[in-house]
């Protein structure tokens, strides 16, 4: 099955009114790649899941992805203030 067809089918099954555009796919794949490389492979699906939760609560996907990417760039995210 083609990726766009699959994503549209999943969104429909989950009753999501979310357009799965090329930009959305690119942002999520970049986020998955970066978290897999900077943390470990299993971080990719888990990080994108957490981003999805944030977006589901009203955050914008580009801003959420940027916040996570910024966190990946920190030397030790555990010691950083979570307020920004």
Give residue 79's pLDDT: 54
Q: Is the pLDDT of residue 78 over 90?
A: no
Least reliable range by pLDDT among 29-33, 54-58, 64-68, 78-82 = 78-82
83 confidence band (pLDDT: 50, 70, 90): low
Q: What is the DSSP letter of 80?
A: S
Q: Is the pLDDT of residue 82 over 60?
A: no
Ordered alpha helix ranges (H), the chain: 3-13, 22-38, 43-56, 61-73
Q: Is 15 left (phi over 0), alpha (psi -120 to 50) or beta?
A: left
Ordered by start, the domain boundaries in the chain are: 20-71
Q: Is the pLDDT of residue 15 over 60?
A: yes
Q: Give the C-alpha separation, 25 to 65, whole Å.
A: 12
Q: What is the pTM of this model?
A: 0.82
Give residue 19's pLDDT: 81
Give residue 77's pLDDT: 65
């Amino acid at each position: 099955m083609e990726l766009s067809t699959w994503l549209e089918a999943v969104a429909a099954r989950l009753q999501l009114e979310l357009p799965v555009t090329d930009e959305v796919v690119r942002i999520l794949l970049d986020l998955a790649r970066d978290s897999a490389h900077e943390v470990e492979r299993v971080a990719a699906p888990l990080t994108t899941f957490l981003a999805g939760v944030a977006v589901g609560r009203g955050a914008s996907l580009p801003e959420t992805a940027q916040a996570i990417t910024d966190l990946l760039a920190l030397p030790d995210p555990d010691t950083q203030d979570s307020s920004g």
